[in-house]
Structure 1
């Protein structure tokens, strides 16, 4: 069994037929009712039965069919004999149409008028079938006796009408939701339709525009009227050679405000005649954006010309480079002489920098579509090299693909030279500070050296006495000599540490065990700590990995901090110095030097690491300042704080790789 067709909306169409009683319909109905049809009537019936039209006849009082044409089987699928059952017709009229249809038939019988109307009947398959019913009424002695008519299947037409209505509704919805104003204008110039955007754009309500002249929306613009007339005559308008039907206009709103717009006309033939459909787009924001873009580009060019920065825009596909700013002058070339291609530009880079920079641009900008910062050396015309710092950003278009990238170039040669000179001065100052620190520790260092030297002297004298015996004790002499060698090595180690701290050389970054560095400083300063009665408490974490640093510089910082702590506790009883090395979750390591002295004055907490800041009479105030510069050059941080139980703690932290330092 086929699926039921969708139910169409109920038609309310019902109108008196124009067929008079003597018409073909009325005549056919009467002849069909003859008990013994004439040859003419029989022939007419055969003609009707050969069509798809179902002729029928019923008793006006009982509404029981007395005749139904055989086409009814093909139309609804019921046997003809079913139609003769009382109530069959009303029972098979669609429930939504039944009351209306029965009322119309009763009215037709009562008023003796022929009617035509449409309704749905339920077929044997369960589908709804739209029928057009033509009804005529015959009376006997003034009372309705027989009703006759024809049923015509109009389902296909109804479906087409429903599709057309749905399509029209969708089209109307699209028009109402369009971002542009759409206005339909009759050939004589009156507005026939406007959408919601037209109301919003011009500030009118729909009822205020329909029937009014289109000219009130674009006053004083005869070119628009001519353009409409041209389109209405089916000719392609001349719009300045743009190849389309769009023209610039000035729209006027209800409040008198005007705005720039573009208009497009299209002719449309309707049942009411030719209509010109105009599409109007407000281009105020676009013109504002275009103006802002032009102004921005002009400012960009002026800034690039007058500023210190040089800007380049590179076309990734062609490799063409457009320079903004004085790139030729900056590198000693004549105007236009410096390469205007990316490959030519790359050829000017220092050989040691070229491969790295090109790889970074290809990976970060072209492949990963993100910006980057880089520094490199670029050759000037005289063969010298300038240092450039650049920032590169891709311009994404289409599907997010970079088609061009912009490079902002800054000449940082002077900064690089100044930075190198500053590093030299810092290293020189650090060396002076180391020498100064060692000078202050002369007594301690002398005591450290005196111990192994005195032991060597004593052991040597003992060895001589052993050798003077008649029977020298060789094993004992050998043991004494071993002690001499050990004490000599101890003295040599002390001297080597002093030489390392005294030497002035280049910074050497290498893996350093911070725990070992602190232990070495403790050994160097052990005599001074013992002399002052200071107890040293080690607090080292185990299994810490090395950090990348300059061993001598870090030793200098620890010596400085330990010296300050010793001076802070000078003369105190039960003085205690805690030396700690701890790791953090972020892989940094922190060295701490904690004392039990009086602590840091509140006024000195924020300035103690500044140059020439000292709380000790006669102090230069450079030790902590130099320590800070050393730690920051390693990418680390240094800080101080007072302890709750008395005393102060100075700490410095270092990253694992020291890459931030200079």
Structure 2
């Protein structure tokens, strides 16, 4: 069976001695000896003896000598053969040649390395030398060379190989010809040339043949290198130390290397063309913006381009030899003469001056100048001059607009700014400095801005800064606390814009609304007082009505009682009359009961619009209704909900009335809070027992825990101007919906009012 295997197989004794090998006779005498490449020998011996000791199978890759100086990669695998008692009887070892795979791996890694060099723009000669070295490592016993040519005239630019020198000298200074050698023949005919035996080759000169044989080259395979446009770039040649044709593997890597060489050469040509184009473009840029002129130290015009002559109002020929100083405005002439002398002394410079054209028109110019060596060896001025009259006029108009804008800001008590969040840079108007109480010489920063914000409102500004990270427009009101203790109310609005490179800028304004805010607060206080008077009057009218409705039956009851007393006191007692009077008393009692029932019905209206209510959506509507009030009170409101919540059954209007009352109470609870952020959290979530819970948490004054039980009593209030009926009515509405309303005092400050109502479970 061992002899029938197509690969070498050897049987070893448990001690590692060979006692049988198959028909591959060259393996019979193999042990861990010098048949193994010296770089692999120590590792192989160690691995082999380790397996003999442990009894574990082994597998390793190493290079074996096939013939003198020729090694091939093999995969060696060994397995122990054991008897019934698990003792090792022998080892059987197989050798599988993997030379092609290893070469392919080396080729792939080398190609990757070469393409990286090309992509990084490494010099062409380094890329080609690296390619030749890689080819010689992969192809045993071979030498490689690359010849480059100019596509137009086929003149060799470089011929050489890292491992031999003679070939390069052969090609310098000559034209590519098919009579010189296989490299030129391949380039001339654009076809691969195979010379299997140089010793018997007669197509080229004897000197070429003798030199090749003297260098140890016995076969030659030359391949043309073509561009994507099918132009000849050169040739890639492999010289073999043994006669013969290239193997399929060698043909494959020749084709791959030819492609890489073509890519590298075209990349180098492209880089060279780009460099030349950049040099040409740089020359154009250096000499063109508008007027280009050359002036001597004395001011004579030596050269001027067409743009300059058009600016002066005369052809170039008429201007050559003229004194350029005569075109400079008299009030700028001395300055320009001094500038020209500095340039002709070897300096570079920039100058703005006025020029008078031949038509008498005055133009404002700017010039960039540098010294230039003239044809006679003297230093002259090379100047590039640009007409900036329109720009100066635009600048003047811009200055006027800026002055007008500053006046408008002063009158409107507004300051403008531009802020780039990515860098923190802020540019702002003088009026903004005044609003924030900052000296004009001070650099405005975000830290300085936030430091001026009132501690009770810094959360508002911080919230705006967080919104800016998402590119949202900004709109908020807050207070400033200046170093002298003064408090200002300001309104800030800013719009986000994007620059050409994706950077985000905010353009906005801050307005001092202190006086307006004070007026609004005075007006709000007056309105609140009027509302309070109105509520008191309304309550008085309601009290009179209640008293009137109840007093009537009570008066009847009292009268009937006295009549009954008189009838029963008579001699004899009038029982029948007393009975009738008692019936009238019962009638008046029922009438009083009906009055109370009607009053209760007045405050306890039945649910008339029962339906499915989304508490989260209903809460959003109420919050939106109060958005302006929340902003005016400088409160940050956060709304939270969890996923999709089932709907409850009830009257949406009444439930929203409860929400409105809780939110208004929360807003009023933060009246006068200035030492901490004013926050309201509205949270809608699923509660226990199939209920939906809505909670309103504020950071206001809160209440004493022992008063929690009385908060829902009618006419009980902790507010000076309150009537004490809001929470009572709210509890009634919630309880009519099968829910419950609760109040909790928070740990640090503020309170949480919450109600929960049941929802119908899905069938």
Return the TM-score normalized by structure 2: 0.32
